[in-house]
């Protein structure tokens, strides 16, 4: 019974001593500043207070005082002084090695922060619609790597427009390459390109041997379409069919382009898709031009409220890349 309270008192006293010690040392710790370390490094490198002061653009008395402060803080001499030069002590040599590492890390951190602030470093998460991933992704990644080598790009592919808009709102992606219109008013969209719709059929389909096909040739066909109600490609296909005076028979649905084309290759129906699908060679699929089909736009989307210089920089690179390709085609 008696031992417990005595132990408690001793612990309390020990704690108070620890607190007092920490309190006593705290003012000294506050004296060490980054500039003191830079001053020390300059003196250690030149072994001369006058040369170091000139290099640092400070008065020599101020530099000498700063080094004395640092020595007092560490409670150890850092230099052996003579009338002609100064030489680091053993403690000074050790500190110089550590200071080089510390200052290097600080300088790297400052450069990194400035590059991020300038949009030159960081990570951008990019979502892509299925066909855009096949046709445009290699060019986009090459352009970003060339112009912004310190920016990483994380890819989420085969995302339909509604899924990309949801991911933009949640922050799962920073940019989306999608088919307008976007879902919701809080998404900012910039049109990059427009693609003609083409026909995808299985290799043994009757239209596979035709070099050019008309929308009216599809009147009695079974269609494979995207499962999303808000699919921009589906809407463009429906408009093209209505212009040809028929409503497509929608027998099968797919969650994305890869599955859609697989169903076509299996002979379950035909599909009308953007021309960029040609970039995805799938065994058993034949692509044919549609002379009277419509087109779909490809756009870059971001959350309207996002303020991210790295995202801004990547948008600039992508827009410039698409503009250069369009110029080459003129």
pLDDT of residue 329: 39
Q: What are residue 123's DSSP bridge partners?
A: 152
Domain-embedded: residue 14: no
Domain-embedded: residue 17: no
pLDDT of residue 34: 86
d(CA 106, CA 114): 12
Cα 254–chain centre separation: 29
pLDDT of residue 31: 52
**In this structure, what token pair is assigned to residue 294?**
């419509």
DSSP sequence for 115-141: HHHTTSEEEEEEEE-HHHHHHTHHHHH
pLDDT of residue 17: 37
Q: Is the peptide bond before 27 cis (omega within 30 degrees of 0)?
A: no
Contact criterion met (CB below 8 Å) for 248 and 182? no
Number of domains in the chain: 3
Domain-embedded: residue 48: yes
Domain that holds residue 228: 193-296
pLDDT tens digits in sequence order for the chain, 330 residues long: 434 333 232 323 333 334 333 343 344 444 578 888 999 999 999 999 999 999 999 999 999 999 999 999 999 999 999 888 899 999 999 999 999 998 888 887 777 777 666 666 789 999 998 777 778 888 899 999 999 898 999 999 888 888 899 999 999 999 999 988 877 789 999 999 999 999 999 999 999 999 889 999 999 999 999 998 778 899 999 999 999 999 999 999 999 888 999 999 999 999 999 998 888 778 899 999 999 999 999 999 999 988 888 899 999 999 999 887 654 433
Domain-embedded: residue 10: no
Please check whether residues 201 and 273 belong to one and the same domain. yes
Phi (first) and psi of residue 77, to 5 degrees = -70, 135
**In this structure, what token pair is assigned to residue 73?**
């803080």
d(CA 23, CA 16): 10
The candidate with the shortest Cα–Cα distance to 178, out of 196, 197, 158, is 158
Please check whether residues 184 and 311 belong to one and the same domain. yes
Contact criterion met (CB below 8 Å) for 295 and 215? no
**In this structure, what token pair is assigned to residue 84?**
């002609």
Please check whether residues 135 and 198 belong to one and the same domain. no
pLDDT of residue 230: 79
pLDDT of residue 133: 74
DSSP sequence for 137-156: HHHHHHHHHHH-TEEEEEEE
CATH number, domain with residue 78: 1.10.10.10
Cα angle 261, 264, 268 (rounded to 5 degrees) comes to: 145
Q: Is 0.75 surpassed by the pTM of this model?
A: no
d(CA 238, CA 246): 9
Please check whether residues 275 and 149 belong to one and the same domain. no
CATH number, domain with residue 133: 3.40.190.10
pLDDT of residue 326: 54
- 60 phi-psi bin (left φ>0, alpha ψ -120 to 50, beta other): alpha
pLDDT of residue 282: 81
């Amino acid at each position: 019974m008696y031992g417990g309270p005595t132990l408690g008192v001793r612990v309390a006293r020990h704690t108070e001593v620890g607190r007092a010690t920490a309190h006593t040392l705290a003012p000294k710790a506050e004296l060490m500043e980054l500039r003191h370390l830079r001053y020390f490094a300059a003196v250690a490198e030149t072994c001369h207070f006058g040369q170091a002061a000139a290099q640092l653009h400070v008065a020599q008395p101020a530099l000498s005082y700063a080094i004395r402060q640092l020595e007092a803080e560490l409670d150890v001499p850092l230099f052996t002084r003579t009338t002609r030069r100064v030489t680091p002590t053993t403690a000074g040599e050790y500190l110089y090695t550590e200071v080089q590492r510390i200052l290097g890390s600080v300088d790297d951190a400052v450069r990194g922060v400035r590059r991020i602030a300038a949009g030159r470093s960081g990570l951008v998460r990019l979502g892509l619609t299925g066909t855009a991933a096949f046709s445009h992704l290699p060019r986009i990644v090459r352009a970003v790597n060339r112009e912004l080598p310190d920016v990483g790009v994380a890819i989420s592919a085969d995302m339909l427009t509604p899924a990309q808009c949801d991911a933009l709102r949640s922050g799962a992606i920073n940019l989306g390459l999608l088919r307008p219109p976007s879902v919701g008013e809080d998404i900012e969209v910039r049109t990059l390109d427009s693609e003609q719709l083409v026909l995808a059929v299985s290799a043994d389909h009757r239209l596979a041997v035709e070099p050019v096909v008309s929308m009216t040739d599809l009147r009695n066909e079974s269609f494979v379409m995207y499962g999303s109600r808000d699919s921009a490609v589906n809407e463009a296909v429906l408009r093209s069919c209505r212009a040809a005076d028929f409503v497509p028979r929608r027998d099968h649905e797919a969650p994305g382009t890869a599955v859609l084309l697989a169903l076509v290759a299996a002979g379950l129906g035909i599909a009308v898709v953007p021309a960029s699908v040609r970039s995805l060679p799938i065994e058993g699929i034949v692509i044919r031009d549609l002379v009277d089909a419509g087109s779909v736009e490809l756009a870059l989307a971001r959350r309207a409220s996002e303020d991210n210089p790295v995202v801004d920089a990547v948008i600039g690179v992508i827009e410039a890349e698409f503009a250069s390709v369009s110029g080459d085609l003129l």
